[in-house]
Amino acid sequence: LEGAPSALVFASGMSALTTAWDALLAPGEVLVLVGALYGGTEAAAKRAERWGVVVRRVALDQPAAWPEAFAGARLVHTESITN
């Protein structure tokens, strides 16, 4: 981050994720969730749906479904489940 004009620091990954989603997604816009996700991410997706964001889910092992799932998406989210 040295030399960067600005930066944001978060106490957790979930706070970073929800801040990004809140900043980038408005009601009616599409969020695509790809593959297996952390339980907290699923909870954040349910919150986004309550606020009017269209949430689509697509499996990593079904690439034929990707074009339809990604069509019109504002944001695509995937993550690796690891600690």
- pLDDT, residue 2, reads 84
Encode pLDDT of 44-65 as tens digits. Answer: 999 999 999 999 999 999 999 9
Position 81 scores a pLDDT of: 73
Query: Residues 23-46: pLDDT tens digits?
Result: 999 999 999 999 999 999 999 999
- Confidence band, pLDDT 50/70/90 cuts, at residue 73: very high
* Gap between the Cα atoms of 39 and 10, Å rounded: 19
Residue 83 reports pLDDT greater than 90:
no
For residues 70 and 16, give the distance between their C-alpha atoms in angstroms, rounded to a whole number: 23
Distances (CA, A) of 81 to 35, 37, 38, 49: 10, 7, 7, 23
